[in-house]
Amino acid sequence: MSKKDSPAPDLETLRHSASHVLAAAVMEMFPDAKLGIGPAIEGGFYYDFMLPRTLIPEDLVLIEKKMQHLIKQNLKFEKYEEPIDQAEEFLKKTEQILKVELVADLKKEGEQKVSFYKTGDFVDLCRGPHVESTKELKAVKLTHISGSYWRGDSDRVQLQRIYGVAFASKEELAKWEEQMREAAKRDHRELGKKLDLFSFHPEAPGAAFWHPRGKFVYDALLDFIKQENEKRGYQEIGTPIVLSSDLWHQSGHYENFKENMYFTEFEEREFAVKPMNCPGGCLLFAERAPSYRELPIKNAEFGIVHRLELSGVLHGLLRVREFRQDDAHVYCTPEQLEDEIVKIIEYTTDVYKHFGFDDYELFLATRPPKKAIGSEEVWERSTKALENAMKKLKLKWGVKEGEGAFYGPKIEFNVKDAIGRNWQLGTCQIDFNLPERFDLNYIAPDGAKHRPVMIHRAIIGSFERFLAVLIEHTSGDLPLDLQPEVARIVPVAGEFLEAAEKFARELKAKKVRIGVDRSADSLSKKIRNGELMKIPFLIIVGEKEAKSGKLTVRERGKKEQQSLALTELTKKLS
Amino acid sequence: MSKKDSPAPDLETLRHSASHVLAAAVMEMFPDAKLGIGPAIEGGFYYDFMLPRTLIPEDLVLIEKKMQHLIKQNLKFEKYEEPIDQAEEFLKKTEQILKVELVADLKKEGEQKVSFYKTGDFVDLCRGPHVESTKELKAVKLTHISGSYWRGDSDRVQLQRIYGVAFASKEELAKWEEQMREAAKRDHRELGKKLDLFSFHPEAPGAAFWHPRGKFVYDALLDFIKQENEKRGYQEIGTPIVLSSDLWHQSGHYENFKENMYFTEFEEREFAVKPMNCPGGCLLFAERAPSYRELPIKNAEFGIVHRLELSGVLHGLLRVREFRQDDAHVYCTPEQLEDEIVKIIEYTTDVYKHFGFDDYELFLATRPPKKAIGSEEVWERSTKALENAMKKLKLKWGVKEGEGAFYGPKIEFNVKDAIGRNWQLGTCQIDFNLPERFDLNYIAPDGAKHRPVMIHRAIIGSFERFLAVLIEHTSGDLPLDLQPEVARIVPVAGEFLEAAEKFARELKAKKVRIGVDRSADSLSKKIRNGELMKIPFLIIVGEKEAKSGKLTVRERGKKEQQSLALTELTKKLS
């Protein structure tokens, strides 16, 4: 999909051009720098360098200044081509040893010519395209430095990678910066610590330790989905975590997902820690062929799955190695398929609205170009069914070409959070392949065995990821039903602790999730702590309250305090 | 612990003697048989043989007849000793090649003499002791055949193992046989299938697949323990499943429990699938040193753990590789220790009584002779605390010498089931070691850091095992709160299905777990199916019921049917 001819440069071209300016600036600073590669990426760009010393954050300021200086000169991006041997010689002469390697590879592939782009004094081996001139780079900013390996291979030389962002206008950059500031305040990793919800330890990279408060939130979310599932005719199953490689061969995961799986061995048999719940669910379904009267069968499984992710890309609860999914597999007849997809879409968006995600988008992810199982015809049929269901609901959708799962196309659900960021959460995937591979059958009215269609669906997706998004969306002011401590009693001084405990017992008996501040802190510190922990209601108990039985209540986000009798308060809180 | 001098032969001696008679009978049948070993085991005995052909079950009848014939002859067990070289020669001459190997080993160990036991014509290399004569073997029975490897080594020759039981009297044997018949009827593996609770698949040996009905039972048990935990001041945490080997080194599991763990590798780091929840829990506790005012801190974790078990010893839900524990770790001051143990014992026995296990025993398991961490003094202190708590509750207990965990002594809780079998379920273990290894601290009133004591406790133990025991104890008639289908509506014929569905909706709205038989089966078949599934209440809906709104109710285990209005029924069922 070349975007060369569009009148305004698209963001990808803009960002790629910014990476050249970055490289030019770095070459000014370190004339001996060896250039790696410098692509545009989602949200920005980077460039990899081999440098005589390690960069420090202050370097970014200097490099950015040099970039601005180059940009102001309004330098043209000039393309020229050269025979490949000549190009190789040039790169050898300029000692760009990494580029020499790239050219050598192109030569091996049979390339005759290569192109360069020249910007001022800076020349880079590059296919392009680029913007016309540096003046189009109106809003560029460097963000951070990280380590990387040449060609992503940990046996090769380590490089330094500089990341940046680029936008079409200063306004868009300003908006992005504001979003970043907002995001930093809402960072779920920080809030997770502050609210005492979860932690991470180096002994388990990418796997959360849930503290009591966080475990409450996690389980409250789980219970909510369980209840919704039950209302909608789902039943729950549970399948093992460690399953033999035979199964993963049968399902196709071994061939298509192996690099993301943990393997282990016992009694000369290879096992994998499951990265998905589906194959186990198929084994269970395959135990008997149900009657068509029982279909659709909707088996939910809140399985814990493990997927390998490089340490470098792990990020709080957003990118983890261990997570729980609100998985379900719906087995139905081909005739029931569209209706079931409609129901799943409605269910999914209902849940998002329940959690305050009123703004969501749907994407249709189609057959991946490389790894995919099953015939073209089956892929087409499945894709059609997803489209029809969305049409029936009069929904609009985008298309993610080639981003389907290896076993079938899917609808991806994205929500927009309070500061405008998009998060992919749920999916609804059609699968004609696993039923075939696991010989799944139902007994049709004709008494014969028929193949059911299988729909994989997850609404919140990963519990871990969903909670990260929800925490950032709400800045930690979680919905009341997910609040581990709906109210906290704050005694004015130690002598009122007993009265506070008495009130707490009464509220607890009414199923109010109540806490008591038993610390020796001052009243103002206790109130501040309660506010930092984002407790929805702080209840002050002093002499007046202990005597009158009327409690002073501070509701989060409201200025006035209220004076309420215990029965009124109980009503308010439950 | 020699039991030579006891007047009546103890069971172990009796069983060992029975194994000699078994070997004598087999030698009569196969004069070329090579003898392996033949020890007494819990509940009986076995003998391993190298035989010219594979045994069939019918052989057991023949061999048992020969044994009875030998027993009737009232043969003496005569011991004699020989210099080891002479013994070796004798065994070589009689071509007992396996015994020759055993004697060669004894020689290497420096033995000078060995003993033989002679019974009639049969002679066996044996340390003894044995009964005086075969007439003491009043109640012997062969049970089954299995394969085994010479010296348990799968690279050595495969042998055939014959198992048997032996008791002091015919009455005891009869009692055992009755128990076996009862046990077979109650076998949880059979009931698991019949009641559609769970299944196993070769892709995951020792890990259950929970069907919707079984998952309900499982979760209902989980919810029950969660509620009880909350009442008693426990809070819940969750820690990762895959943790790096560093952690297992730190905890001592690597050294003492390695052979039971699954290992895997990623990014050149070794990880293990957790076999226990404690080390993860310690990492979490170690994040901050709580104030003494917060102690005891009771962290419950319903973690899923994996422990390797040889395929050969797996047995339904009773012996598995993957299971969930109702684990909790209580961190307290040394002063609080005894009180906390008292509370745990009371809690544990309360739960057993709740599930109808009124008959239970306590055992004190002490320091293991080989694998154990921590000083003698610490072991003594811990053992004392457990004893004191049991004394305080005026409980009696048995002692299991050397059967403690590698990190501390424990109380084991055994329950007796409806047919008199004993099952070990819960444990309460004291641990002075992990707090040391993980540098756990609390802030004492003096402002300084002090070491808390850690109590590991599980009440139901493994969910899988507990459910197996409960299913066998109740013959599948689970307590009402664990019943996935408390009542089932059975329409007399297809035309009443609609009325049945209407009643079902109304009962469901009242939170009754209700099913409807939608099959095309005859009424009597439907009723039989409901009875086989052990549904507590079957509700018949025909013309009379549909018109009158009064339902005909068959309560499980009662002969008379009742006629009840829907409101009466709802009250009865909820």
pLDDT, tens digit, for every residue of A251-277?
999 998 999 999 999 988 999 999 999
Q: How confident is the model at residue A187, as a pLDDT?
A: 95
Give the percent of chain B with pLDDT over 70.
98
The active-site residue, picked from B96, B160, B325, B429, is B325
Reduced to 3 states (helix: H, G, I; strand: E, B; else coil), residue B183 is helix
In the block, which residue shows the tokens 């499982």? B218
Please give the Cα distance from A456 to A365 (Å, whole number): 14
The active-site residue, picked from A213, A321, A329, A465, is A329
Segment B63-70 shows an average pLDDT of 96
Two tokens, residue A40: 């545009």
Contact A218 B241 (CB under 8 A): no
Final residue in a domain of this structure, among B474, B498, B514 = B474
**Measuring CA to CA, which residue among B260, B250, B344, B350 is closest to residue B296?**
B344
Residues B468 and B517 in one domain: no
Give the percent of chain B with pLDDT over 90.
80
Final residue in a domain of this structure, among B148, B166, B181 = B181
- Going by pLDDT thresholds of 50, 70 and 90, the confidence category of residue B6 is very low
**Summary mean pLDDT of chain A:** 93
Is residue A1 domain-resident?
A: no
Contact A211 B241 (CB under 8 A): no
Give the gyration radius of chain B's Cα atoms: 29
DSSP tag of A557: T
Residues A490 and A470 in one domain: no
Q: Is A456 a catalytic residue?
A: yes
Q: What is the domain range of residue A26?
A: 11-181
CATH number at residue A86: 3.30.980.10
To the nearest whole Å, the CA of B432 is away from the closest chain A CA by 22
Is the pLDDT at A480 greater than 60? The verdict is: yes
Is residue B154 domain-resident?
A: yes
Residues A500 and A466 in one domain: no
Residues A193 and A307 in one domain: yes
CATH number at residue A364: 3.30.930.10
Give the chain B residue nearest A216 (alpha carbons): B236
Residues B463 and B495 in one domain: no
Is residue A4 domain-resident?
A: no
Crossing angle of helices A212-231 and A337-354, rounded to 10°: 140
The pLDDT tens digits of the residues spanning B312-334 come to 889 999 999 999 999 999 999 98
Q: Is B410 a catalytic residue?
A: yes
- Going by pLDDT thresholds of 50, 70 and 90, the confidence category of residue B557 is confident
Q: Is B329 a catalytic residue?
A: yes
Residues B90 and B196 in one domain: no
Is residue A401 domain-resident?
A: yes
Q: Is B181 a catalytic residue?
A: no
Is residue A43 domain-resident?
A: yes
Is residue B3 domain-resident?
A: no
Contact A284 B204 (CB under 8 A): no
Final residue in a domain of this structure, among B474, B497, B523 = B474
The pLDDT tens digits of the residues spanning A309-323 come to 988 889 999 999 999
Q: Using CB atoms, pick whichever of B219, B262, B287 lies closest to residue A264.
A: B262
Give the chain B residue nearest A310 (alpha carbons): B267
Pairing of strands A537-541, A550-555: antiparallel
Residues A435 and A521 in one domain: no
Q: Total domain count for chain A? A: 3
Contact B243 A203 (CB under 8 A): yes
- Which chain B positions have a beta carbon within 8 Å of A242's beta carbon? 204, 207, 262, 273, 306, 321-322
Q: Is B572 a catalytic residue?
A: no
- Going by pLDDT thresholds of 50, 70 and 90, the confidence category of residue B8 is low
Q: Is B456 a catalytic residue?
A: yes
- Going by pLDDT thresholds of 50, 70 and 90, the confidence category of residue A6 is very low
Residues B98 and B201 in one domain: no
Is residue A480 domain-resident?
A: no
Reduced to 3 states (helix: H, G, I; strand: E, B; else coil), residue A220 is helix
The pLDDT tens digits of the residues spanning B269-295 come to 999 999 999 999 999 999 999 999 899
**Measuring CA to CA, which residue among B153, B136, B152, B177 is closest to residue B20?**
B136
CB–CB contacts below 8 A, A to B: 133
Please give the Cα distance from A161 to A144 (Å, whole number): 8
Pairing of strands A453-462, A322-332: antiparallel
Give the chain A residue nearest B286 (alpha carbons): A201
pTM for the full predicted model? 0.85
- Which chain A positions have a beta carbon within 8 Å of B216's beta carbon? 236
To the nearest whole Å, the CA of B531 is away from the closest chain A CA by 21
Please give the Cα distance from B407 to B431 (Å, whole number): 6
For residue A396, the tally of other CB atoms under 10 A from its CB is 8
The active-site residue, picked from B141, B274, B307, B526, is B307
